[in-house]
A = this chain, B = another copy of it.
């Protein structure tokens, strides 16, 4: 293969970032030739928001967008938390996802940051709202092009198609019509990797993807017979991500009793009952109903902050008045 494996534009700053627990990649892109150095984050994770915002600051960038490729089932998006820490940032997700965000995109839309942009391609199949973001095609844009494929295409793999409106038939069509039609040297950056790979190319996946390089019938059979476990984070992550994610800060004592010191929803609507929440940085993700001890209205409209609550890890608690 006559390929190189890095992309360059005189304008583009690009960083790939990794969250170990969910094996998620977050991508930072910025137009550093523009006076404001506008930047965006693709698929930020709640647990690494501080790292990401610190890097944005060190590099002198102005974060304008926090973008998701889809409603993730395996981790809580960082967009809600980013918006509380960096209020000018707008969240973006596909209209087809039915999730909440500041801006919604559809196939063909362009997300502009300075003189650069990401083109939106609809790649449903893992979820109904999955999109792939592709760097622009033009003199100042990145060359080779770069595509952020979410879970539609993973390096030598792909996202599962057995929940969240998934469809193996649709995923096959999405990848073959929207990703494999890009130039062969296009660099593909997935939302996850579990083997330590960081990047691949259209050409490589067309040749070596053990699922998607096959014909459609074989692909559908492979996907039907994966026998995967129910995702451990799905009941937590999906409701949270549909609402741009909820932050729970907690402290645990040695007996496993958690004292929740803050719950904050970045929704435009107040937190409703029943509420499914995830303990940020909890040793293992758990579902519970927190018992609210005290609450305090936030100074930001639509944001409810619970200052203290108690919950026993792994148990279900009645949720008192919120």
Contacts and interface: CB of A to CB of B under 8 A. Distances in A.
A18 B18 contact: yes
Interface in A1-43: 1-20, 26, 32-33
A314 interface: no
A51 B196 contact: yes
A185 to B, nearest CB: 11
A3 to B, nearest CB: 6
Q: Is the interface of A mostly helix, strand, loop or mixed?
A: loop
A10 B17 contact: no
Nearest to A7: B6
- Copies per assembly: 2
Contacts of A20: 20, 196
Given A4-B10, A8-B8, A10-B4, A15 B58 contact: no
A163 interface: no
A217 to B, nearest CB: 25
A201 to B, nearest CB: 9
Interface residues of A, number: 37
A196 B9 contact: no
Given A17-B197, A17-B198, A196-B48, A32 B3 contact: yes
B18 A8 contact: no
A300 interface: no
Interface string A54-66: 0100111000000
A4 B15 contact: no
Contacts of A7: 6, 8
A34 B8 CA distance: 22
A17 B51 CA distance: 21
Contacts of A208: 58
A2 B32 contact: yes
A12 B4 contact: yes
29 contacts: A1-B32, A1-B59, A1-B60, A2-B32, A2-B33, A3-B13, A3-B32, A4-B9, A4-B10, A4-B11, A4-B12, A5-B13, A5-B14, A5-B15, A6-B6, A6-B7, A6-B8, A7-B8, A15-B197, A15-B199, A16-B199, A17-B198, A18-B197, A18-B198, A19-B196, A20-B196, A51-B195, A58-B208, A198-B198
Given A4-B14, A18-B197, A20-B196, 15 more contacts: A1-B59, A2-B32, A4-B10, A4-B12, A4-B13, A6-B14, A8-B8, A16-B199, A17-B196, A17-B197, A18-B18, A48-B195, A51-B197, A55-B197, A59-B204
